[in-house]
Amino acid sequence: MIPFIGTFIGILPVFILSLAAGKDFQAWGVLIYGIVVVGSTDNLIRLYVLKKLDDVHPLITFIGVIIGVPLFGFIGLIFCPLLLSLFLLLVRIYKREFDETIHNGTKIENY
User: Residue 71 CB: number of other CB atoms within 10 A?
Assistant: 11
Q: For residue 36, how far is the Cα from the chain centroid?
A: 19
Instruction: Locate the domains of the chain by residue range.
Output: 1-55, 57-105
pLDDT in tens, the chain (111 residues): 565 677 778 888 999 999 998 888 999 999 898 888 887 776 677 667 766 766 777 777 778 778 887 888 878 777 888 888 888 889 888 888 877 666 665 555 554
Amino acid at 69: V
Rounded to 5 degrees, what are φ and ψ at 106?
-80, 140
Give me the pLDDT at residue 102, please: 61
